[in-house]
């Protein structure tokens, strides 16, 4: 075996670079974070061939002094922390002092900078060799420019692992999106192969921030997002969460920031997943842009070289805070009257062209009265015509016999008695009677007094309810809506009674690991609060003596094992709640109004009012939407009115 020896500085840097630089996107992250720490207000990123050939990051920050330039390329050289206390409360994006050294060891790096107040700029270069670089004068405004060319030119084995230009640039762009979402006060420009991809101005107002989010993610996201802002126990969370109906097949629209740093944390992901569990369709992923703020001393960002992961000092507190904040925000989403801006369009200032009645196309024409006109009695078969909607009668039992066709009676003829003309003449006389009839308009209602889901008009195939509100047509899935209403009422009823438990006739023995048994003893109070009583019988066995009444048919052993796993991982478990809700959901599904059942107008309107008052009424228990809206402008467009 070879004797122990010290690695050369070059080889050590190349090995260390593997922790920081995996692809061009990592370089962009490190350099832009340095620019943000330098107080930059404008950051420009230029890339060629996905960033493999060239990456250039320019900022207008406070710059680097001449004497500090060579040192900046050394490993573990930084101006951001000096003592252990600084490390325990990191307030900057970067702090390790590894970025420039790692980048310069696997690329041809040029660093040009002019310190604020200095008379001239200076430049230093490094090409994958030892960090003994010479400083030379250069021309540059206040700020810093870092160029990294020919990535992995001296490590061909690693270069082989790079993907196509399109894939690498996609990663690079996503990295810049996260950084742009973390600092709305900074302007960003991204160019690829000399083509501008993004040009983002500083966003200080709320509307400007929303526009930046819409630009970087998807305009539809902001049209289907709920803004939240909650503060408690020294924690603050704000941002936007997508409605459950606006879900994704994958987690490509999930951005979470801790003190301005983009992270992917298992605890955070679990809390958000729990908040959406009761409203999200299975297999779908939520969309969100969220910001968590807390004392830097309560979070450790020095967990991973790329700083993608963090560790919270009180993970359970953070988990519960995130879950409750999002759970409440999603529960409060109910049908409501859209604002004036929402009625004008989605994400733009263009006013829709007025068509149909809004444009006055039918001015001077009498409104058709669908009730039986005066002076016309009987129907085609001589029976008295029915009058729809009178006295709140059921649409399901209405035959619509009072339509204008009921007034077309046979008999009578023209003076010339030509064949086939008698019916036409009678129809013309019927139309004249319709035009002469006194209109009987529906009761006038102020638009502000119309409920969000409007008033019921009809039922389609016993499945959908059609309603009219101030914006246009509302279509409601009758069973899905009633299922959610029943489900929420069952949950409230059970919550008011508390967790009812019962002893097992024969206590169940559960064999676990010693670590799991230790956790069971540690969290015995948590189990008891959830209606489960367990006792340790040996180093590797537990005895389950009592469980909730609602879960007497559940797999008790698997349930306790899963709860232990949750408690050890997150300090909390909602397995009992999840199983209980699954049972209540099944009960609600079977207890809700079924398809093909005829409802009266009062019943339909009562269902609409219940939806407006029920939490999470926009989705059924399985995450499917319960209603949709079609505005008048959308209906006009559908029928090409005014075109």
Neighbours of 336 (CB within 10 A): 10
Does position 301 have pLDDT exceeding 90, yes or no?
no
Q: Do 255 and 236 fall within a single domain?
A: yes
| Pairing verdict, β 42-48 and 187-192 | parallel
Asked, for residue 359, whether it belongs to a domain, the answer is no
Residue 76 confidence (pLDDT) above 80: no
Which one, of 256, 263, 268, lies nearest residue 318 by Cα?
Answer: 268
Residues 623 and 540 in one domain: yes
DSSP 568-631: HHHS---HHHHHHHHHHHHHHHHHSPPTT----HHHHHHHHHHHHHSTTTTB-TTS-B-EEEEE
Last residue of a domain, one of 413, 439, 465: 439
Q: Are residues 184 and 60 in the same domain?
A: yes
Q: Residue 153, class by beta-carbon neighbours within 10 Å (0-12 exposed, 13-18 middle, 19+ buried)?
A: middle
Q: Evaluate whether residue 308 is within a structural domain.
A: yes
Q: What is the pLDDT of residues 136-183, one digit of tens each?
A: 999 999 999 999 999 999 888 888 889 999 999 999 999 999 999 999
- Looking at residue 64, its pLDDT comes to 92
pLDDT given at position 133? 72
In the chain, how many domains are there?
A: 4
Range with the lowest mean pLDDT among 98-102, 215-219, 240-244, 617-621? 98-102
Residues 196 and 236 in one domain: no
> Looking at the structure, do residues 451 and 435 belong to the same domain, yes or no?
no
- Domain endpoint, select from 307, 331, 355: 331
In this structure, what token pair is assigned to residue 275?
Answer: 């908040």
Of 216 and 366, more confident: 216
Q: For residue 520, what is the domain's CATH number?
A: 3.30.1540.20
pLDDT band at residue 372 under the 50/70/90 scheme: very low
Q: Give me the pLDDT at residue 339, please.
A: 41
Would residue 339 count as lying in a domain? no
Domain extent, residue 280, equals 217-331
What is the rounded CA–CA span in Å between residue 327 and residue 253? 19
Find the Cα–Cα–Cα–Cα dihedral 100, 106, 110, 112, rounded to 10°: -10
Global confidence as pTM: 0.72
What sign does the CA torsion over 296, 299, 305, 307 have? negative
Q: Which of 270-274, 302-306, 463-467 has the lowest mean pLDDT?
A: 302-306
Give the phi and the psi of residue 149 in degrees, each rounded to 5.
Answer: -110, 150
Q: Could you read off the pLDDT of 305-362 as tens digits, one per residue?
A: 666 788 899 998 999 999 999 999 999 888 865 443 333 333 333 333 333 334 343 3
CATH code of the domain covering residue 165: 3.30.565.10
- Segment holding 189, helix H or strand E: strand 187-192
Overall average pLDDT of the 430-445 stretch:
53
Q: Which residue has the higher pLDDT, 591 or 512?
A: 512
77 shares its domain with 175: yes
Q: Where are the beta strands (DSSP E) in 462-520?
A: 464-468, 472-477, 501-511
Alpha helices in 150-265 (DSSP H): 156-159, 165-182, 206-216, 219-223
Domain co-membership, 126 together with 188 = yes
> According to the model, what pLDDT value does residue 53 have?
96
Name the least confident of 317-321, 417-421, 555-559, 595-599. 417-421
Q: Read off the tokens for 480.
A: 């899905």
Which residue in this structure is represented by tokens 């990123």? 45
- State percent of the chain over pLDDT 90: 46
Q: Is the confidence at residue 366, as pLDDT, over 60?
A: no
CATH assignment at residue 294: 3.30.230.10
Same domain, 374 and 469: no
96 vs 113 pLDDT, higher one: 113
Tell me what the mean pLDDT of segment 227-238 comes to: 95
3-state secondary structure of 105: helix
The mean of the pLDDT values for the chain is: 80
DSSP string, 407-436: G-------TT--TTHHHHHHHHHHHHHHHH
Give the integer Cα–Cα distance in Å for 185 and 181.
Answer: 10
24 domain residue, yes or no: yes
Last residue of one domain, picked from the residues 405, 439, 473: 439
Q: Are 470 and 454 in contact (CB under 8 A)?
A: yes
Residue 421: the pLDDT is 56
Per residue in 572-626, pLDDT (tens digit) is 777 878 878 887 887 788 777 777 788 999 999 999 999 999 999 998 888 888 9
- pLDDT at site 205: 93
Whether 377 and 464 map to the same domain: the answer is no
Among 73-82, 162-171, 358-367, the minimum mean pLDDT is found in: 358-367
482 versus 305: which is more confidently predicted?
A: 482
Residue 3 belongs to a domain? no
pLDDT at 337: 52
Domain match, 137 and 14 both: yes
Q: Which of 14-23, 49-58, 329-338, 522-531 has the highest mean predicted lDDT (pLDDT)?
A: 49-58
402 versus 554: the higher-pLDDT residue is 554
* 275 is a domain residue: yes
**Could you tell me which residue, 18 or 32, shows the higher pLDDT?**
32
Average pLDDT over residues 267-277: 91
Do 483 and 534 lie in a common domain?
yes
Co-location of 292 and 382 in the same domain: no
Does any domain span residue 385? Answer: yes
> Is residue 4 assigned to a domain?
no
Residue 525 is predicted with a pLDDT of 85
Confidence of residue 92 (pLDDT cuts 50, 70, 90): confident
């Amino acid at each position: 075996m070879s004797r122990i020896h010290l690695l050369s500085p070059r080889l050590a840097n190349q090995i260390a670079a593997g922790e920081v630089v995996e692809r061009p996107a990592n370089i962009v992250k490190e350099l832009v974070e340095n620019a943000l720490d330098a107080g930059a207000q404008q950051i420009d990123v230029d890339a060629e061939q996905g960033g493999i050939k060239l990456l250039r990051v320019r900022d207008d920050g406070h710059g680097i002094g001449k004497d500090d330039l060579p040192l900046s390329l050394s490993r573990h050289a930084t101006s951001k922390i000096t003592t252990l206390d600084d490390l325990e409360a990191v307030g900057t994006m970067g702090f390790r002092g590894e970025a420039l050294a790692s980048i310069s060891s696997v690329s041809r790096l040029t660093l040009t900078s002019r310190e604020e107040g200095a008379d001239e700029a200076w430049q230093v270069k490094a090409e994958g060799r030892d960090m003994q670089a010479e400083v030379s004068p250069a021309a540059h405004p206040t700020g810093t420019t870092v160029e990294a060319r020919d990535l992995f030119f001296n490590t061909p084995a690693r270069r082989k692992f790079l993907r196509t230009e399109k894939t690498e640039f996609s990663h690079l762009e996503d990295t810049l999106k996260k950084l742009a979402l973390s600092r709305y006060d900074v302007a960003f420009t991204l160019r690829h192969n000399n083509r501008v991809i993004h040009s983002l101005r500083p966003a200080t107002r709320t509307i400007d921030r929303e526009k930046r989010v819409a630009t970087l993610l998807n305009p539809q996201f902001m049209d289907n997002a709920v803004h939240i802002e909650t503060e408690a126990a020294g924690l603050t969370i704000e941002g936007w969460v997508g409605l459950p109906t606006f879900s994704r097949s994958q987690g490509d629209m999930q951005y979470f920031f801790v003190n301005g740093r983009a992270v992917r944390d298992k605890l955070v992901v679990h809390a958000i997943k729990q908040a959406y569990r009761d409203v999200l369709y299975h297999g779908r992923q939520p969309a969100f842009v969220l910001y968590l703020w807390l004392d830097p001393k309560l979070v450790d960002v020095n967990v991973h070289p790329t700083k993608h992961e963090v560790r919270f000092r009180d993970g359970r507190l953070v988990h519960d805070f995130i879950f409750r904040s999002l759970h409440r925000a999603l529960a409060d989403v109910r049908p409501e009257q859209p604002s004036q801006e929402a009625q004008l369009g989605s994400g733009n200032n263009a006013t829709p062209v007025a068509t149909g009645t809004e444009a006055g196309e039918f001015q001077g024409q009498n409104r058709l009265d669908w009730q039986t006109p005066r002076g016309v009695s009987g129907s085609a078969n001589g029976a008295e015509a029915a009058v729809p909607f009178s006295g709140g009668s059921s649409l399901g039992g209405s035959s619509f016999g009072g339509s204008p066709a009921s007034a077309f009676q046979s008999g009578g003829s023209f003076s010339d008695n030509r064949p086939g003309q008698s019916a036409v003449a009678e129809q013309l006389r019927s139309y004249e009677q319709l035009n002469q009839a006194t209109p009987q308009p529906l009761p006038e209602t102020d638009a502000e007094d119309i409920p969000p889901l409007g008033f019921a008009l009809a039922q389609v195939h016993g499945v959908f309810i059609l309603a009219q509100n101030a914006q246009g047509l509302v279509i409601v899935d009758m069973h899905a809506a009633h299922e959610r209403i029943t489900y929420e009422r069952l949950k409230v009823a059970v919550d008011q009674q508390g967790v009812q438990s019962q002893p097992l006739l024969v206590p169940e023995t559960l064999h676990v690991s010693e670590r799991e048994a230790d956790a069971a003893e540690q969290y015995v109070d948590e189990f008891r609060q959830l209606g489960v009583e367990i006792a340790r019988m040996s180093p590797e066995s537990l005895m389950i003596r009592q469980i909730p009444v609602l879960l007497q048919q559940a797999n008790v052993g698997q349930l306790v094992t899963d709860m232990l796993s949750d408690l050890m991982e997150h300090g909390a478990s909602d397995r009992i709640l999840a199983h209980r809700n699954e049972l209540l959901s099944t009960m609600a599904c079977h207890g809700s109004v079924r398809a093909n059942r005829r409802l009266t107008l009062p019943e339909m309107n009562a269902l609409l009012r219940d939806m407006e008052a029920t939490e999470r009424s926009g989705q059924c228990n399985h995450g499917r939407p319960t209603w949709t809206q079609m505005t008048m402008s959308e209906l006009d467009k559908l029928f090409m009115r005014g075109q």
